[in-house]
Amino acid sequence: MSTVQNTLVFLSVLPIFPFLIVYGVGLWITKNKKRSLLAAIDVTTLFLIFSVAALFNIVFGTKFGIYLILLVLLITLGLIGSAQNRLKGGVNWSRLIRAVWRITFIGSSIAYFLFTFIGIFSYIINYMS
């Protein structure tokens, strides 16, 4: 594998590193904590999606992880877009995509920790028996 592929795999396995790198660089350049935090969240979400999909595949022994995440993203996009259309009379696409992306960060962060602990415990249980 090339250096770029190795770096991307490493950042996907440990998504806290892209978060810290983007936050640190953003804070250094802009001196704005909120803007740096939001940029770090946006970048880390992509790494979390791939990481959670891989963890899902490992824990459950399937190849369905990325498709399930995409399905959940599309359903969330439809539900929030429908609610926005009913409340505002139209859809503001930039706000809709930003909201779904930030919700994805929260959900995939929780799923990352959950699947990591499930994977560790199942490995320990299988190894001891």
pLDDT digits (tens, 9 = 90+) for 31-48: 999 999 999 999 999 999
- Take residue 67 and report the two structure tokens written for it: 């498709």
| 3-class DSSP assignment, residue 89 | coil
Q: State the pTM of this model.
A: 0.88
CB 104 within 8 A of CB 44: no
Question: Identity (one letter) of the amino acid at 65?
Answer: G
CA-based nearest residue to 70, from 119, 108, 16: 108
| DSSP calls for 9-65 | HHHHHSTHHHHHHHHHHHHHHH--HHHHHHHHHHHHHHHHHHHHHHHHHHHHT-S-H
pLDDT digits (tens, 9 = 90+) for 79-103: 999 999 999 999 999 999 999 999 9
Give the number of C-alpha atoms closer than 13 A to the C-alpha of residue 112, restricted to the C-beta side: 19
pLDDT digits (tens, 9 = 90+) for 16-35: 899 999 999 999 999 999 99
61: left (phi over 0), alpha (psi -120 to 50) or beta: left
